[in-house]
A and B are shown apart, each in its own frame.
Chain A
């Protein structure tokens, strides 16, 4: 498909779908980031059941 060159030039190279369909490489994680992500996993392990408990409690307390 031929497009107007001016139109093609209006987008930066990194904005084309063809470029964006290629994934970025994974980030190399330093010790600090690894520690943060470990803390985050712990937080998530606590938070997810808490959310479930909140929802279940709300349902139990609900009287239609």
Chain B
């Protein structure tokens, strides 16, 4: 085999015979695939899993983003160790079920989610799906930079410096122009989401209380009320979101995964869900001392407020780990969500879309990620910017628009013309349908409660 495969080539034209030439991004993807094929032929199972892992671990750990960690922290500080510990595991089971469908779509069609909606359901739904995703993503990125600047403030860094570092990290990751390297870099950063585990250990958690919570789904102090329902909905919203579907499907395609890789790709998603659930539960455990000490967290606006309040309970090291975890959550999410926007927009307008593209061939792809990142960062730097309004809008948009995203996911995964034998079975439709209907209703309810808070206030 020629080790020096040329990576410059002409842009593809319609009607070109397969194998006549490869684009540079095809060649880079083919190199990765060759490695996978040789590893599979050698029967090296663990090595194969390592090569094929990535999109699942990334999407799950990236969804443990700044606002999500604040939701989990609020949960721990409001309810302690009890009902929400097993409930978080339940939400990640739902997330796995949804993401597994996106993975199957990717390996069966080799096309992204936005692309499939546009081509199979027409321009209206294509532009709608892309538009609401990109708009919601930009607002979500604002909340990620709020997390980054809040974490920076804990360490005494000026807002401008924290935000600038965040922007530089996002842009630097895009400069790699290689999917495989980008993915491994982000996986390396995402591991720091697990900093919440040692932070939780500093809270000296009661093992018996944790076991009791898992066994009984309790206790639930205060019982069923509006605040409880809002936190239930917020925790679901922190685990299942539209951008995750679009991102993982596009990443599966960009990585070049195929039907044969499905077992390992499912395992990748499951490992990601387990790791993310552990980090989420660790956050609840770490903030449980605030519940025990009856600390009022209703005025807390960001993760840094929690880190500061936790210092007397976790010590300086524990609180520092918590603040670092919040920064990581913001940085990794900003990187993945900006890429999700790039994939969706470029797929919809039929522009080239891959992290293997050079800047010359992927102008639009990279421009979307960089522009959305700069816009989000700029908003955070505006003195007196309505950051809380942005956060509220993000929650409402994400939850209200979850229903269309999930409906299209189900319709696509039942489209036998494109899915073949990977289409949903009746069992898949039953479990997937129940989850989709439940999440859609819950999402719509959360949206209504957020917009009309007096609905549940007696």
Contact = CB atoms under 8 A, between A and B. Distances in A.
B396 A15 contact: no
* B-side interface size class: 35 or more
Given A37-B125, A50-B400, A24 B388 contact: no
Contacts of B18: 13, 16, 18-19
Given A11-B256, A15-B256, A17-B25, A43 B404 contact: yes
Contacts, number: 152
A15 B9 contact: no
B119 A26 contact: yes
Interface stretch (B29-37, B228-236, B241-249): B29-37
Contact of A58 (B21, B388, B444): B388
A26 B126 CA distance: 12
B8 A1 contact: yes
A31 interface: no
Interface residues of A, number: 43
B97 interface: no
Interface in A2-38: 2-4, 6-8, 10-27, 33, 36-37
Contact of B21 (A1, A19, A24): A1
A63 to B, nearest CB: 9
A4 B321 CA distance: 49
A7 B14 contact: no
Given A7-B34, A37-B125, A54-B451, 12 more contacts: A1-B10, A3-B21, A4-B1, A7-B2, A7-B5, A7-B30, A16-B19, A17-B352, A51-B396, A51-B397, A54-B447, A64-B384
30 contacts: A2-B6, A3-B5, A3-B22, A3-B30, A4-B1, A4-B2, A8-B19, A11-B22, A12-B258, A13-B18, A15-B26, A15-B258, A17-B25, A18-B14, A18-B20, A18-B23, A19-B18, A23-B350, A26-B121, A27-B120, A37-B121, A37-B125, A43-B404, A50-B400, A51-B400, A53-B451, A55-B389, A58-B389, A58-B392, A61-B389
